[in-house]
Structure 1
Amino acid sequence: MSAGKRFCEAVRRERPLQVVGVIHAFAAKLAESAGFRAVYVSGAGVANAAFGKPDLGLTTLDQVAEEVRRISSVTRLPVLVDIDTGWGRDLFSGRTMKLMHRAGAAAVQLEDQVDMKRCGHRPGKHLVPVADMVKRIRAAVKSRPIRDMGVMARTDAAAVEGLDAAMYRAQQYVQAGAD
């Protein structure tokens, strides 16, 4: 069974699915032994733990893919990967999705910040227009190497524009094809 199918099965079996964040391969092994059904590789986790950098969009696609490869190589758990804004938005979506698939990602998570993003926990975030995020999602869905690779969307609108705007954005993202 593919990683994407294992992720969908985990989502179906456990509602809500508890996905534990991991920052390296050993943490993924610990998560698996603790009984979690999936792991999450965050952009902040890779930036902080692997490179000693803040989560400001400073890590590259290749760097994150390498961390995902290390993590997915030691666990059967499906790996959900934070791909920030997608490294080039819809223009480079095919490369991003292909590298994440090769690295072992079961699903990816796109966010709706501008390209020079900030960690979702920090103030001063700026969002792209809904139409731009819809393009990102559609490009990721269209370019995923296999149909069962998940494409998740995250919005930071609650902190920037309020809860109603966040709900509106989430609805638009699902309509665009986000899982």
Structure 2
Amino acid sequence: MPPVSLTASDKRRALRAGLASGQLLRFPGAFSPLAARLIEDEGFDGVSLSGAVLSAELGLPDSGLAAVEEVAGRGHQIARATDLPSLIDVEAGFGAPINAARTLGLLEDLGFAGCFIADRPDPGCGGRFDQTGVVETGAMARRIEAAALARRDAGFVLCARTDAGAGGGLDAAIARAKAYRDAGADLIFAEAVADERGFEAFRRALPDTPLLASMAEFAPAKLLTARTLRNLGINMVIYPATLLRLAMASAEVGLKTIQIEGSQASVIERMLPRTRLHDLLCPRDDRRFDAGTVVSPL
């Protein structure tokens, strides 16, 4: 039985309260329900569900190949495994403004706390930092407005991502952020902000609007600490693909070790202990439901 006690509305209220608190919310990216449990157990504030990660987990490149049902379905499996609020990436909304509206309704039904929609073309080019194309400001504003109008639960957080900074510069990105806020976005995701000065400029330009920063590895932008982001007035930071990259790198080492050495014995110390895995799968205060049941150890 999943150790989840909060409803979707509870999670949405928690996310909105966190954004209004003045504190920095930390949302690592989860690639599986078990990873979401680990994020919660380690004391983070929420779970981010990256489009790139969800596509990779489906064995697809981050190039708009995954359908909305695939992304939302896999995201739902992850989000429902934790009491933490989840913010899911839905790329450009999967089509025209009416598609963005339909997408938001689907996400509400599946219990997500919020989503972010990007101003890239649809189908987009995902999170590739070498591609900087964005739609015109009005087209993106219409996506946001349609999604906001489709919202039935006022607690659902609508985040607008702008990639304009990568090609058009900081001023262009800030101008777009203001337009997206005015169209109904609750949270602004400023992608491709290079350093502290960029975030300072965003905060000055949007003093009362919650801001999200992405600390993605292998990106042109500088990786900033949580303390630095907090001091800059950032409300939320996501680490979208960190856990996936760590897990896959470790898995690759394990497989190579078996190929070369004929056994996994030399890497056992790098593995999650069986008891730790069991605690994540069967929290102590949930075991009352399993009286008399033998749980198979892994």
For 1:89 and 1:39, the matched residues in 2 are separated by 27
Asked if 2 retains the 8 angstrom alpha-carbon contact of 1:44 and 1:54, the reply is yes
| Worse-matched range after superposition: 160-169 or 119-128 | 119-128
The answer as to 2:179 corresponding to 1:172 is yes
Asked if 2 retains the 8 angstrom alpha-carbon contact of 1:94 and 1:143, the reply is yes
- Give the match for residue 43 of structure 2: 35
User: Structure 1 stretches of 5 or more lacking a match?
Assistant: none
3-state SS of the aligned residue for 1:153? strand
For 2:100 and 2:173, the matched residues in 1 are separated by 24
Q: Percent identity?
A: 34
For 1:134 and 1:115, the matched residues in 2 are separated by 14
TM-score, normalization: structure 1? 0.94
User: Structure 2 stretches of 5 or more lacking a match?
Assistant: 1-6, 187-298
- Give the match for residue 53 of structure 1: 60
> How many residue pairs get matched?
178
Among 160, 170, 177, the residue aligned to 1:153: 160
| 1:93-144 deviation line (CA, Å, top 9, x unaligned) | 3321121112221001000000021123421231100000100000010001
For 2:69 and 2:22, the matched residues in 1 are separated by 32
Compute the displacement of 1:19 (Å): 1.2
Asked if 2 retains the 8 angstrom alpha-carbon contact of 1:10 and 1:38, the reply is no
3-state SS of the aligned residue for 2:31? coil
For 2:154 and 2:167, the matched residues in 1 are separated by 33
- Give the match for residue 103 of structure 1: 110
Segments of 4+ in structure 1 off by > 6 A? none
Compute the displacement of 1:14 (Å): 5.7
Among 82, 107, 126, the residue aligned to 1:75: 82
3-state SS of the aligned residue for 1:35? coil
Match of 1:92, as an amino acid?
A: N
Query: For the structure 1 residues 105 and 150, does the alpha-carbon distance in structure 2 shift closer, same or farther, using more than 3 Å as the test?
Result: same
- Give the match for residue 26 of structure 1: 34
Which of these two proteins has the greater Rg computed from alpha carbons? 2
Among 103, 112, 121, the residue aligned to 2:119: 112
TM-score, normalization: structure 2? 0.57
3-state SS of the aligned residue for 2:26? coil
3-state SS of the aligned residue for 1:151? strand
Match of 1:136, as an amino acid?
A: R
For 2:41 and 2:146, the matched residues in 1 are separated by 36
Asked if 1 retains the 8 angstrom alpha-carbon contact of 2:52 and 2:127, the reply is no
Match of 1:177, as an amino acid?
A: G
